[in-house]
């Protein structure tokens, strides 16, 4: 592919892609991509920190203290949100890829994604963040 033919080459090109026409499909796609890149960045850090258990356990334990500090817990909550959204919306994509007839229900499936996301995610966030105010109170 030569330069200038990519999906972001020009506004004219952008209009050729249904994902860029706005609405739930585009938002679902954009969140999927952003959350995927975010989780990927954490995975790089996470494989390196687990490697430290073998070569420098003291540094691993120090990182663990950062992860379990109040700012670390906020980051963990964001990581969990990115991972959970990516997992739920990913299953929505897989369902539509293998049963294309269900694509007509893509908006409804996206709403189900959000219902499950908040129904499980909010109690999950509470469990992760609880030690912050327990330490304060």
Binding positions for other proteins, rule: CB under 8 A? 1-3, 6-8, 16-19, 25, 29, 32-33, 36-37, 39-40, 43-44, 47-48, 50-54, 57-58, 60-61, 64-65, 67-68, 72-73, 76, 80, 83-84, 87, 90-94, 96-97, 103, 106, 124, 127-128, 131
Q: Quote the tokens at residue 15.
A: 């209009």
Taking residue 70's Cβ as centre, other Cβ atoms within 10 Å add up to 13
Q: What is the nearest approach in angstroms of other proteins to the Cβ of residue 30?
A: 11
84 — alpha (psi -120 to 50), left (phi > 0) or beta? alpha
Q: What is the nearest approach in angstroms of other proteins to the Cβ of residue 118?
A: 16
Q: What is the nearest approach in angstroms of other proteins to the Cβ of residue 20?
A: 8
User: Under 8 Å CB-to-CB from 90, ≥6 apart: which residues?
Assistant: 32
Token look-up 């694509």 returns 103
């Amino acid at each position: 592919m030569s330069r200038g033919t990519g999906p972001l080459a020009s506004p004219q090109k952008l209009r050729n892609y249904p994902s860029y026409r706005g609405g739930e499909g585009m938002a679902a796609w954009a969140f999927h991509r952003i959350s995927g890149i975010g989780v990927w960045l954490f995975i790089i850090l996470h494989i390196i920190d687990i490697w430290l258990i073998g070569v420098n356990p003291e540094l691993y334990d120090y990182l663990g203290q950062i992860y379990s500090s109040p700012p670390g817990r906020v980051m963990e909550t964001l990581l969990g949100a990115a991972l959970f959204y990516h997992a739920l919306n990913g299953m929505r994509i897989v369902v539509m890829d293998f049963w294309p007839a269900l694509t007509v229900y893509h908006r409804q499936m996206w709403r189900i994604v959000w219902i499950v996301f908040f129904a499980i995610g909010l109690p999950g966030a509470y469990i992760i963040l609880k030690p912050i105010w327990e330490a304060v109170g």
